[in-house]
Structure 1
Amino acid sequence: MKYCPLAISIMVSILVAHGATDAFLNRHMPPKVPFPDALDSACISVPKLDDVLEYALILGNGDINGLLYSEGGTLILRITKNDVWDARLDTSNDPPLPTLALLKRLAFGDWENRAWILPPGYKLRGLDSYRAHPYPCPRTCAIARISNLPPKPFWKQIRAQGVHNAWKRRGNVTVMSIEGKAGASNGYAFGPLSIATDEYSHLRVRLSGTKNARVFVELQGANNATIFSSGWLDSPMKSKELTFKLPPGKSISRIILYTWTKDGKRAENRFEAVEFVGKSDTLSINLSTIAPPTCPAKLDIRRAVAHVDGISGGPPKAVVRALAHCNAFLIESSAQVELLPVRTPEIPASACGERNGVKWLHQRIPGDLDWAGMEFAVALATNGNRRAIAVVTSLESSDVIGDAVKLAQSVAMANLSNTIDKHEAIWERFWSVSGIDISDELLCKEWYRNLYFLRCVTKPGVVSPGLFASLIDEHPAWHGDYHTNYNIQQTFWSCFITNHTDLLEPYERLVMNYLPRARWLARRIFNCNGAYFPHVLFAYEPAHPERCRSRNGRQYIHHVWGFTIGVSGFTVQPLWWRYKHEP
């Protein structure tokens, strides 16, 4: 193996002159990957795909991106696009913006609640804009379901705190067991379901357990929100029927059973029946239905393509790309592909239709007093075993449905070899800009893989990715926002030493667009000139808060973390590094 010490990899292994750029390479030399064997060896192989957190494969072109995984024997492609945000900000309950002057007075006086910087006597109105709603946050565009199997509910492990965690049939009962530390628990979920509590008002569970076991029953609705939980109960040692009254007006999407070991020794719950009791009938849950088989898959990061092996009775064989030259996914598979909307209670239901044989879904996201909202369309076109899924937003089109349909159709009908050649040429040019080949194989692979992940979620001209470029659900932690206390900056740190400073452009534009607001905040909060960047930014914040109709100039400030020393320095440091690399 060739060896290039990591300490000098910046200068030697990238194999380009100082300050070289993509444009320079295009003009003066054909793209050539410096260490093709090292790059090829960084491909990602997974033994299975049935866990979105552990095994999902990431595909993206810097604007659209997706997570490819399996669920219930079905391939799932969860599709996002950087500019798709529910960017509403409801500041109606927010307290007045904190000021340094008020903070000083409180620090030397009677400070009643140190979680807030409030004028004396001020009473909070309710949950503030950060806690009252899931938004502002990025949103999933759609889910593509790739399968020839009808969707079926099944039991799946969702918690495994023990050294032993099992779900097995024993005669006519299902035995759930755990062994490990005292207080450890495991959980198995059954879904997807669609059960209305107005129709089935009670849940009945018949079980017995060991003396050291406890049981917990949970029912969830949309986006895994809890709608009922039993709390931890001591498991009956003899068969007993537990009946729970359910809250009305709810829709159950899955049921979860948990088992706890009190002493760490093996504990068992023996489930004989789980039933939803209705007005006229009883709906029994099958306790023997386990997850269908999954299969291995491979992600070729050099060519940005995922290969799914497929397995009988499980996920189908498929080849999937997020095309580098346009905002469309290309799927090659003999299985059926279905386009599914993502439903949340915060936004209106999407519309679905078909035009010229191309299926589409259209989603409107409402605005607020100072943000107009947005819309997007996702279109699915079919050409034999080839499918194209295109995404178009109102930030780039005045006819999102029409343009999404046209793009999907053009990709599906284009010459396949030419399409793949265009896609791979862009990635080959990307990889030609830098490379390493070092003796530490793990570090070498991670270098290439993380650079691939970065390129999947950013490129010049797009909206900057937030804390989570790809979404596993519709309630991303911390709103999926831009946390400027190093969290968002670290996403882009690697673009400098890898000679890909152009990947910083979306972040740089985010900061520069925020600058007028940052200057306003410096005056309002610190009564000084300059610019103050708080530790939380969102997409599409109006640049001029003094013109906003929302309370506090439509500004959210965390009264504690917002005053973190150095946040503004963290925020602008990558811009300084960009200048130092490309003055």
Structure 2
Amino acid sequence: MTHSICIDHPIVTPDDGLFLGNGDLSVSCWQSPGTIIFQLGKNNFWDTRLLLDKNPKPAHIEELRTLVMDPNFKVDGTSRKLNGDKLTDRQREICRRVPSQGYTAPMPKPGPQVHLHYPPDWRQCSIRQTLEIERGLLRIEIRHFAGGMLVLEAVVHPEENRLALHWTLSGITPENRYGGYFYGLPDMPLVYATLSREKELTREEFIRREYLDHGNRHSQNMSPLPPPQTLLQNNVLIQKIPDSMSLYTAGAIPEDGGSETFADVLCLTPSKDCSEGTFSFGVSTDSAEDAMQLAQQSNWETDLQAQTDSCDKFWNRSRVSFDSPVLEECYYAAMHGKRSLLKAGVYPPGLFFPSALKDFSLWRGDYHLNYNYQSIFMGAYESNHLEQGDAYFTGIAPLLELGEKISRDYYGIDGGCFVQLCGYPFPVEDDYFGSLPLGRMAYMTGWVAAYFYRRFLLTQDLDFLKNKAYPFLKKAAVFYTGFLQEDDQGIYHAFPSNQGECDFSYAGTMDQPQVIYHAAYALHCASQAATILHVDRELAAEWEHIRSHLPEQFSEMPKDMAPEFFNFDGKKADAKKAPDFLTPGNPSYDWYFGHMPYRFSIRLRGGIWRVAEDYQALIDYLKRWRQPNGLMRAMSVATHGYYGPWTESLAIVGSLNDMLMTSDGGIIRLFPGIPDGHSASFSTLRAEGAFLVSAIKQERVKKVDIFAECNGTCRLVNPWPQADCILEYHGETEALSGEILNIQMQAGTSCCLRQR
């Protein structure tokens, strides 16, 4: 079965556009009268200006320990309102937002627009837009009532940053042809393309339009910096950000066609009365020459075949099916989004799709490490796409380099790493967020550690564990060893650190659940990794000692489950009640979809999802948030406006994977989110222990296939607890029974399970 997204009306904003991409270059397609518009975005095109000289010296943890002992002291987590007695000027300056946060940079920047022009007098037309997900192909048909038809196909090359367009025009007659010679003005071809970039809006005009769009003024307090300069040279559009970087976009002249420039617009024209043609555009942050070479190397048939081959390889890595079209369509649209945005070795995007960015972005479009950044990668490894999940490490690398400095200089912990709340995909000299209320939260370090270790659990890749994961896990454990404070009873406390986006006060910074859970799991991951690698035996023992001597109220946390899948924000989910995201009046239902995937997976992985009661409500909820282009909005337009699709909404892939299979603690559970009487199936989802699992449920589980990438014991909750099952392995058949099935497997072998 293949999947498509079809829209039979014009799309009027890039937020809602149909999208293509290769993990670095992405495109959003929408329309205005007489034009099909492709807005381009490149993951690493950022305004990198960071005014650190405007900031006070970042806060040292000892300053904060002294400050927070005042029982009247508090900095509100959202309003930043400050309470405290006899505060010094230094204390006040570290309790305010750092000045550099008030500017319009750092921030990802939008690329240019390609306009495919067709007869502008074609107003009485029908339009059908089809995104063929498994082919990575966008096809648009525009039919004039008097018989003319334009067919446009578009692909983004899977490896080279190039947009290729192929068009055909048919049925042209005097009845549907408009225009002609008029006092020397050029008679434009019926189809042609332009490349341009509008000048960046002033801050005042942006705020005015923001208010007109949705009644809010989120960007009104940003101070502008000199805007990017746009110029056109030798058919290359250059967007140059002062004291930062440039984006180069080139358009290749069509065969037997021509080009002209006017007012920084590049116009590409086919030969006169041509009924078929191609346009290609190359994008680079390296040089104009590189962009032009990319554009000129295009061949439509070659690019289309490269995309077809790449898509075949991608979609053969795993498959899922649900008997609910809503669930299946959501999954494939989001997976297509991940394929468009994520690629190993390439900086991942920030909060928004690069192909639909506005001139300015909420929260400067940065990497937010308190769930947003992690969300885009949720489910990547489980869906057997290491190439997606590994982009995480490229993006996080500058934050880890900075984190070592913060640990050393502002916590006094040599050899540790403190991961800051927010970050950017480029190196910086010093802590740019080192003030209250949110600049000294100590739980992001553990969240990052969990991701490193999860990759090992799912792949059993010892080279990765030794050379990439353990070096960071050790730094995370060293940080928590120095940060956690031992009392006279031998219990270790997390102080001071707030959680979520909560107040910074004595009560708000002592043993916050989110901090304790992430610290405990990071210590556990580091000690387990050291044991596996036979290194740092004494440190591993110390880390386990600290983990086992945390405050007793946190002992309920499962040792082998990452905290984000147990207790997302420090608040336990109530197993007896409907989830908050299915409850009107709750933010996750009313306006904040972004939290939903983690909150949903907590219930699935923790065994508290009310599968029979809430299954249909879940489907209705997804229908409520799903847009015509298949994506979810992480936050409603009513509250946050149009800023482009939110990357965190792609986390729904992880939750839908979890409906089919979980494997926390190395125990595989099949179809925890699918009620009896419903059907679903999947192939080669990845489980802990490096097992690739396939299963079919037709009202009840029918068959399970498991492939082992490594030697090990596959532990599976028996899908048929009331009956024996048959194991077929190595050409032999064996009857198994019990609550947990333990199957010894050798690397490179497969087994099959079915009910007797």
* TM-score normalized with structure 1 length: 0.60
Secondary structure in structure 1 of the residue aligned to 2:163? strand
Return the alpha-carbon distance in structure 1 between the equivalents of residues 450 and 346 of structure 2: 21
Q: Is contact 2:34-2:120 (8 Å) kept?
A: no
1:314-353 to structure 2, matched below 5 A, reads: 317-333=151-167, 335-344=191-200, 346-353=226-233
1:423 partnered with 2:341: no
Q: Which runs of 4+ in 1 moved over 3 A?
A: 110-114, 116-119, 122-131, 148-151, 291-294, 311-317
1:504 partnered with 2:389: yes
Return the alpha-carbon distance in structure 2 between the equivalents of residues 535 and 130 of structure 1: 15
| Cα 1:316/1:481, change in 2 over 3 Å | farther
Per-residue deviation, 1:554: 5.7
1:298 partnered with 2:185: no
Q: Is contact 1:462-1:506 (8 Å) kept?
A: yes
1:264-275 to structure 2, matched below 5 A, reads: none
Per-residue deviation, 1:386: 0.2
| Cα 1:431/1:99, change in 2 over 3 Å | same
Return the alpha-carbon distance in structure 1 between the equivalents of residues 55 and 295 of structure 2: 44
Which residue, 245, 250, 254 being the options, matches 1:379? Answer: 250
Return the alpha-carbon distance in structure 1 between the equivalents of residues 301 and 197 of structure 2: 31
Identity of aligned residues (%): 20
The residue type paired with residue 425 of structure 2 is: A
Correspondence for 2:238 = 362
Per-residue deviation, 1:534: 0.9
Q: Is contact 2:97-2:435 (8 Å) kept?
A: no
Q: Is contact 2:398-2:424 (8 Å) kept?
A: no
Return the alpha-carbon distance in structure 1 between the equivalents of residues 48 and 195 of structure 2: 24
Secondary structure in structure 2 of the residue aligned to 1:421? helix
Q: Which structure features the higher share of strand residues?
A: 1
Q: Is contact 1:89-1:554 (8 Å) kept?
A: no
Q: Is contact 1:70-1:315 (8 Å) kept?
A: no
Partner deviation per Cα, 1:445-476 (whole Å, 9 max, x = no partner): 22222111101001122112211132331112
Correspondence for 1:535 = 421
Partner deviation per Cα, 1:321-374 (whole Å, 9 max, x = no partner): 1111311001123521100024226334222033xxxx221122233xxxxx22
Q: Is contact 1:74-1:315 (8 Å) kept?
A: no
| Cα 1:387/1:53, change in 2 over 3 Å | closer
Aligned length: 380
Per-residue deviation, 1:565: 4.7
Q: Is contact 2:127-2:142 (8 Å) kept?
A: yes
| Cα 1:563/1:347, change in 2 over 3 Å | same
Return the alpha-carbon distance in structure 2 between the equivalents of residues 315 and 558 of structure 1: 60
| Cα 1:559/1:353, change in 2 over 3 Å | same
Q: Is contact 1:493-1:574 (8 Å) kept?
A: no
Return the alpha-carbon distance in structure 1 between the equivalents of residues 150 and 194 of structure 2: 14
Per-residue deviation, 1:531: 0.8
The residue type paired with residue 103 of structure 2 is: H
The residue type paired with residue 309 of structure 1 is: E
Per-residue deviation, 1:54: 6.1
Correspondence for 1:67 = 28
Q: Unaligned stretches of 5+ in structure 2?
A: 170-190, 203-225, 256-269, 271-276, 462-756
Per-residue deviation, 1:387: 0.3
Q: Is contact 2:398-2:426 (8 Å) kept?
A: no
1:402 partnered with 2:289: yes
Q: Is contact 1:76-1:146 (8 Å) kept?
A: yes
| Cα 1:315/1:455, change in 2 over 3 Å | farther
Per-residue deviation, 1:380: 0.9
The residue type paired with residue 64 of structure 1 is: L
Q: Is contact 1:52-1:472 (8 Å) kept?
A: no
The residue type paired with residue 378 of structure 1 is: T
1:147 partnered with 2:117: yes
What do you get for the CA RMSD once the two structures are aligned? 2.9
Return the alpha-carbon distance in structure 2 between the equivalents of residues 528 and 407 of structure 1: 47
Return the alpha-carbon distance in structure 1 between the equivalents of residues 361 and 394 of structure 2: 23
Return the alpha-carbon distance in structure 1 between the equivalents of residues 251 and 411 of structure 2: 52
| Cα 1:485/1:467, change in 2 over 3 Å | same
Return the alpha-carbon distance in structure 2 between the equivalents of residues 464 and 51 of structure 1: 26
Q: Is contact 2:43-2:349 (8 Å) kept?
A: yes
Partner deviation per Cα, 1:365-397 (whole Å, 9 max, x = no partner): 233xxxxx2222101112342000100112xxx
Secondary structure in structure 1 of the residue aligned to 2:139? strand
* TM-score normalized with structure 2 length: 0.47
Return the alpha-carbon distance in structure 1 between the equivalents of residues 249 and 15 of structure 2: 27
| Cα 1:531/1:75, change in 2 over 3 Å | same
Partner deviation per Cα, 1:503-553 (whole Å, 9 max, x = no partner): 1222112323432310111123322241111110112123xx3xxxxxxx2
Which residue, 448, 453, 465 being the options, matches 1:576? Answer: 453
Partner deviation per Cα, 1:141-164 (whole Å, 9 max, x = no partner): 21111213569xxxxxxxxxxxxx
| Cα 1:376/1:433, change in 2 over 3 Å | same
1:97 partnered with 2:65: no
Partner deviation per Cα, 1:74-93 (whole Å, 9 max, x = no partner): 21111011111111111233
Correspondence for 1:563 = 440
Q: Is contact 1:116-1:560 (8 Å) kept?
A: no
Partner deviation per Cα, 1:309-329 (whole Å, 9 max, x = no partner): 224499964211111131100
Secondary structure in structure 2 of the residue aligned to 1:570? helix
Q: Which structure features the higher share of helix residues?
A: 2
Q: Unaligned stretches of 5+ in structure 1?
A: 1-36, 152-290, 368-372, 395-399, 546-552
The residue type paired with residue 498 of structure 1 is: S
The residue type paired with residue 441 of structure 1 is: P
The residue type paired with residue 121 of structure 1 is: D
Correspondence for 1:138 = 108
Q: Is contact 2:141-2:151 (8 Å) kept?
A: yes
Secondary structure in structure 2 of the residue aligned to 1:563? coil
Secondary structure in structure 2 of the residue aligned to 1:350? strand
Partner deviation per Cα, 1:557-583 (whole Å, 9 max, x = no partner): 352223335222222322211121222
Secondary structure in structure 2 of the residue aligned to 1:347? coil
Which residue, 419, 443, 461 being the options, matches 2:345? Answer: 461
1:25-424 to structure 2, matched below 5 A, reads: 37=1, 40=2, 42-52=3-13, 55-109=16-70, 111=73, 115=80, 120-122=88-90, 128-148=98-118, 295-312=127-144, 317-333=151-167, 335-344=191-200, 346-354=226-234, 359-367=235-243, 373-381=244-252, 382-383=254-255, 384=270, 385-394=277-286, 400-411=287-298, 414=299, 416-424=300-308
Secondary structure in structure 1 of the residue aligned to 2:315? helix
Per-residue deviation, 1:424: 0.7
Correspondence for 2:652 = none
1:521 partnered with 2:394: no
Return the alpha-carbon distance in structure 2 between the equivalents of residues 534 and 439 of structure 1: 42
| Cα 1:405/1:472, change in 2 over 3 Å | same
Return the alpha-carbon distance in structure 2 between the equivalents of residues 54 and 324 of structure 1: 23
The residue type paired with residue 488 of structure 1 is: Y
Correspondence for 1:204 = none
Q: Which has the higher relative contact order, 1 or 2, with Cα contacts under 8 A spaced 6 or more apart? A: 1
1:452 partnered with 2:336: yes
